[in-house]
Amino acid sequence: MASEACEAPMTEPSEASADATAPPQKEKVVLLFPDGAPPETAEAKAARLDELKAKHIQPIKREYLVDTSAGGGDAREEKSGRGQNKKRPVEKPPAEARTAGDPAGLADETSRVPFDVQLALRKREYKFLTARGATEASTASAPPLLKERKLVDFSGKVYVAPLTTVGNLPFRRVLTKYGADITCGEMALCPNLNDGQSSEWALLRRHKDEKCFGVQLSAAHGDQFGRACEVVDKYGDVDFVDLNMGCPIDLVCSKGGGAALMRRNKKVRSILEMGLERLSVPMTLKMRTGWDEDPKLAHTMAGYAQAWAHELGPGSVACVFVHGRSRTARYSRAANWAYVETVARCQDDAIPKLPIIGNGDIMSYADWEEKRKTAPSTCDCAMLARGALIKPWLPTELHEKRAWDISASERLDILRDFAKFGLDHWGADDCGVGRCRRFLLEWLSFLHRYTPVGLLERLPQRMNDRPPKFVGRNDLETLMASDDSRDWVTISEMLLGKVPEDFSFTPKHKANSYAAADTTAKPTDWG
Ligand SMILES: Cc1cc2nc3c(=O)[nH]c(=O)nc-3n(C[C@H](O)[C@H](O)[C@H](O)COP(=O)(O)O)c2cc1C
């Protein structure tokens, strides 16, 4: 789904702000244990840590805990020096990127549908081969469906799942730099693609660094999907096309797309057939456990997919992704990996099996090892979503099988990369800087949830555990852990210059909240 259009022009980072190199002012923070942790027996400590685990609270070392009872205020607020923006070092966008015209990085991007094609789509002059209203491939029983397709091997890879708004091209470049093997574009709606909406087509763009790249399409009918696939196949540069069967948003489900497809196997068959007729690459299906918690539907749907894939030829369906939650569960409970294992096992032994790739709650190598044990029959592709948003270096941790105690300045370097890639992609004029900032802020609404490894009493950090108030090992670490969006704006100013006076920001995704304690999430939130 296309994200926002270009916003009002922003001010250029001023020379005055760029020269402000003084470190943020330190303010008094009341620590819970000012003289360090009181002595504790090993048994008492183990019991305390178990109690925190049961309450979904992160076990942060005592010397970093902040006393929130005294004064009642948010001590991190003081520590982060909010309101001290002018005193923070502010960087300008790289000079070479600040020329007007096309964004500097455009030459390195492929999968761009030419403007005249988009125009023809908009004017409804594009000559589609797929007839409007058709429900099955015109050549259903003829060989073209059985064409040879370039295979995609997900086994042993780290895959960054589609992420609406936040999974943009600059973010994926960052993830690729940190070891992601496979990336995917944000969900694009076929009706919007077929109408030639350029903001929707922009979601399909790929950077040359993305080694293996898929796009995710959402459709409710075979003809919608087939038409979009025609254009994707002709002008795109993709290794696979993923069908969205998990989007919980009413706007999509009420029309029969997204998670609603979990209950419409005939439609899925039609979409698959009409898509494959037009594509020279394989398809993948990304589904949920079901619509409601019960009955569970993914094992039945994956069974159908296995049979269809057998019929439509080798390489037609590369794999099935199963997000271990139902549409209605959102993030209110842990992903059900035991059920993902059931989906993998339920396939028919008499015909070739599809790789089933589980998804949900992978935030560390320890998590990944645990999921492998729970679901040994699934494909060993680590599919990341919020874990990649909160810890963009997670692919490195998985490849190197370790927990990385990354420093705050290294994390700021990651954001510096994003700012550079963002200006490459969106342009370095006022509009480009504004968009880059918006998307950086959206990302920061997830990034701040990271708790540094060095502060934890027991590893790893779990996706849904809430941290108590804590200070970092330095001011930057404290600032980066702030859950106040004004602090995220401060971070954005360190990279992209000052915001205009009337600037405000509210994150789009509610999914950044902690599921375990969040009962306010709406069905419109991702998950
Ligand atoms: C911000 C956000 C955006 C998402 N956008 C998409 C999307 O466009 N398409 C999709 O199939 N899933 C989307 N998802 C779901 C994820 O791909 C993934 O299946 C889910 O978050 C479970 O993985 P996790 O527990 O590791 O986060 C999104 C999730 C989040 C948090």
- Measure the CA–CA gap between 522 and 343, rounded to whole angstroms: 27
Q: Is the pLDDT of residue 314 over 90?
A: no
% of the chain surpassing 70 pLDDT: 84
Indicate whether residue 487 lines ligand 1 (CB < 6 A).
Answer: no
Q: Are 183 and 176 in contact (CB under 8 A)?
A: yes
**Given a cut of 70, is residue 513 above it in pLDDT?**
no
pLDDT interval class at 70 (50, 70, 90): low
Helices (H), 279-407: 298-312, 337-345, 365-374, 386-390, 394-400
Q: Is the pLDDT of residue 519 over 60?
A: no
- Number of the ligand 1 atom closest to the C-alpha atom of 387: 26
Q: Is 346 a catalytic residue?
A: no
Tell whether 87 is covered by a domain.
Answer: no
Decide whether any atom of ligand 1 lies within 6 Å of the 361 Cβ: yes
| Mean pLDDT, range 140-157, rounded to an integer | 76
CATH for 135: 3.20.20.70
> Is 436's pLDDT higher than 60?
yes
Question: Residue 202 falls within a domain, yes or no?
Answer: yes
Q: Is 390 in the pocket of ligand 1 (CB under 6 A)?
A: no
Closest ligand 1 atom to Cα of 186: 8
Atom of ligand 1 nearest to the CA of 359: 23
- Ligand 1 pocket: which of 1, 3, 158, 164 to mutate (most atoms <8 Å of CB)? 164
Contact 472, 64 (CB under 8 A): yes
pLDDT tens per residue across span 329-359: 878 889 999 999 999 999 999 999 999 999 9
Tens digits of residue pLDDT in 93-138: 444 444 456 888 999 999 899 999 999 999 999 999 998 888 777 6
What HEC string does 58-80 produce? CCECHHHEECCCCCCCCHHHHHC
Per-residue pLDDT, averaged over 428-440, amounts to 96
Higher pLDDT, 516 or 397: 397
CA of 166 to the centre of ligand 1 (A): 10
Distance 490 CA to ligand 1 centre (A): 27
Whether 88 lines ligand 1, by a CB cut-off of 6 Å, is no
Give the model's pLDDT for residue 521.
Answer: 40
Ligand 1 pocket member 386 (CB < 6 A): yes
Read off the pLDDT band of 71 (50, 70, 90).
low
188 C-alpha to ligand 1 centroid (Å): 14
- Cα–Cα distance, 455 to 20 (Å, whole number): 30
- Answer whether 335 contacts ligand 1 (Cβ < 6 A): yes
Tally of CB atoms within 10 A around 141? 7
Question: Is pLDDT of 80 > 70?
Answer: no
Check 190, 212, 229, 247 and give the catalytic one: 247
* Ligand 1 atom closest to the CA of 384, numbered from 1: 26
Sign of dihedral through CA atoms 493, 497, 501, 502?
A: negative
Would you call 213 exposed, middle or buried from its count of C-beta atoms within 10 A (0-12, 13-18, 19+)?
Answer: buried
- Is 286 a domain residue? yes
Within a domain: residue 54?
A: no
Report the C-alpha gap between 434 and 407 in whole angstroms: 28
DSSP sequence for 244-267: EE----HHHHTTT-GGGGGG-HHH
In a domain, 1, yes or no: no
As for how many domains the chain has, the answer is 1
Q: Is residue 6 part of a domain?
A: no
Q: Cβ(523)–Cβ(507) under 8 Å?
A: no
The CA distance from 484 to 77, in Å, is: 8
User: Rounded distance, CA 278 to CA 335, Å?
Assistant: 34
**Residue in the structure block whose two tokens are 């995710």:** 216
In this structure, what are the phi and psi dihedrals at residue 263, rounded to the nearest 5 degrees?
-110, 15
CA pair distance 400, 368, nearest whole angstrom = 12
Q: Which two tokens stand for residue 469?
A: 């108030």
Is 50 inside a domain boundary? Answer: no
Phi first, then psi, for residue 53 (nearest 5°) are: -60, -45
CB of 162 sitting under 6 A from ligand 1: yes
Closest alpha carbon to 74 in 351, 492, 394, 482:
482
Q: What is the DSSP letter of 187?
A: P
Per-residue confidence (pLDDT) for residue 139, from 0 to 100: 55
C-alpha–C-alpha distance, residues 113 and 95, integer Å: 29
Residue range 41-48: mean pLDDT, rounded: 88
Lowest mean pLDDT of 74-88, 130-144, 151-165, 270-284, name the range.
74-88
pLDDT recorded at residue 365: 98
7-21, 47-61, 130-144, 408-422: the lowest-pLDDT one: 7-21
Mean of per-residue pLDDT scores for the chain: 87
Q: Which domain holds residue 113?
A: 108-527
Q: What is the pLDDT of residue 494?
A: 98
Whether the per-residue pLDDT at 498 is higher than 70: the answer is yes
pLDDT reported for residue 415: 98
Residue 509 Cα: closest atom of ligand 1: 1
Query: Quick count: other Cβ atoms within 10 Å of Cβ 233?
Result: 15
Tokens of 244: 């969205």
What is the DSSP code (8-state) at residue 456?
B
Q: Is residue 28 part of a domain?
A: no
Predicted confidence at residue 96, as pLDDT, reads 45
Contact 185, 94 (CB under 8 A): no
Check pLDDT > 70 for residue 18. no
Closest listed residue to residue 462, CA positions, set 357, 334, 358, 359: 334
How many whole angstroms from 141 Cα to the centroid of ligand 1?
A: 36
Residue 24: pLDDT over 90:
no
The whole-number pLDDT of residue 510 equals 58
What DSSP letter does each residue of 494-515 carry, written as one string? Answer: HHH-PPPTT-----S-GGGS-G
The alpha carbon of 272 and the centre of ligand 1 are apart by a number of angstroms equal to 22
Helix axes 485-496, 408-426, angle to 10 degrees: 70
